Amino acid sequence: RWFTHFYVVSVLWNGFLLICLFRAEFLGNSLPSWIQDMHHALGRDSQSKDMGNEHFSALLVLLLLWLHSCRRLAECLWTSVFSSGVIHIVQYCFGLGYYIAVGSTVLCQVPTNVRNGKKLSVQICWYHIIGVTMYIWASLHQHRCLAILANLRKSRSGKVVSLSHSVPFGDWFESVSCPHYFAELLIYVSMAITLGIHNVTWWCVVMYVLFNQALAAVLCHEFYQKNFSSYPKHRKAFIPLVF
């Protein structure tokens, strides 16, 4: 339930960064001075050539990240049915910091001088199309899987009747125990593709998401196997047919 706080922070913070970058790219405004100081500290305070595609890619990924946070916030508020489980204070603080850092990571892919006052010339490339298509596909499946989990605790009328755990079926649940975690990984991979595939920094973010979600998936998978004797044996924990 407290994950809701993460998405509130992400919607506000990354929405702010998105507005700043949009104004800088399309209106020729400068980024706030404190952002320029952060860029300078990270060695991203200038550019030697025009990199219009990279600028548009970063703007697009920041938009996708913000939309992802908006959807997850809406699901936390109106779709998911949470049990009485608790979160460790360290994990809570780390989660808040993560959603601030991940948006800043995207912004830092663009030098502070942005385009030297020139407005951005949008040029859509093949990796933008593939990345956004994959993002939409993974997001739809993640939402369906979260809805399936929520409906396990609701009556046909939509009223919450139980907070206990049950075995989910349908959509990607037929292949893995935690398809919503797998979809999260695909969403971050889609952003890496949207950035042009070669961005090493974002692939580091993808690797973090991979290990984080894989660990959570294994724990959930073991829980299902321990508590439900008839749990489908063909299901993997995280990645269909693989892991």
For 199-239, write each residue's pLDDT tens digit. Answer: 999 999 999 999 999 999 999 999 999 999 999 999 999 99
Query: Span 81-103, mean pLDDT?
Result: 93
pLDDT at 51 over 70: no
Query: Span 74-99, mean pLDDT?
Result: 94
Q: Which residues of 131-158 are buried (b: 16+ CB within 10 A; e: fewer)?
A: bbebbeebbebbbbbbebbbbebeeeee
State the Cα–Cα distance between residues 94 and 84, nearest whole angstrom. 21
State the Cα–Cα distance between residues 148 and 142, nearest whole angstrom. 10
pLDDT computed for residue 237 by the predictor: 97
State the Cα–Cα distance between residues 92 and 197, nearest whole angstrom. 31
pLDDT computed for residue 48 by the predictor: 46
Q: Which of 192, 194, 218, 193 is nearest to 205 (CA)?
A: 192
pLDDT at 50 over 70: no
pLDDT computed for residue 43 by the predictor: 62
pLDDT computed for residue 38 by the predictor: 77
* Tokens linked to 229: 């004797």
pLDDT computed for residue 32 by the predictor: 80
pLDDT computed for residue 114 by the predictor: 56
Above pLDDT 70, what percent of the chain?
91
Domain boundaries, the chain: 1-123, 124-242
Could you read off the pLDDT of 32-47 as tens digits, one per residue?
888 778 777 766 655 5
* Tokens linked to 216: 């959570």
Could you read off the pLDDT of 145-161 as tens digits, one per residue?
999 999 999 998 889 99
pLDDT computed for residue 46 by the predictor: 52
* 157 secondary structure, DSSP code: T
pLDDT computed for residue 234 by the predictor: 94
Could you tell me the sign of the dihedral formed by the alpha carbons of 33, 37, 61, 73, in that order?
Answer: negative
Contacts (Cβ under 8 Å, ≥6 apart) of 182? 172, 176, 213, 217, 238, 239, 240
Q: Which of 207, 197, 63, 200 is nearest to 136 (CA)?
A: 63
Cβ(24)–Cβ(31) below 8 Å: yes
Alpha helices in the chain (DSSP H): 3-26, 33-41, 52-78, 89-107, 126-151, 179-194, 200-227
pTM for the whole thing?
0.93
pLDDT computed for residue 232 by the predictor: 95
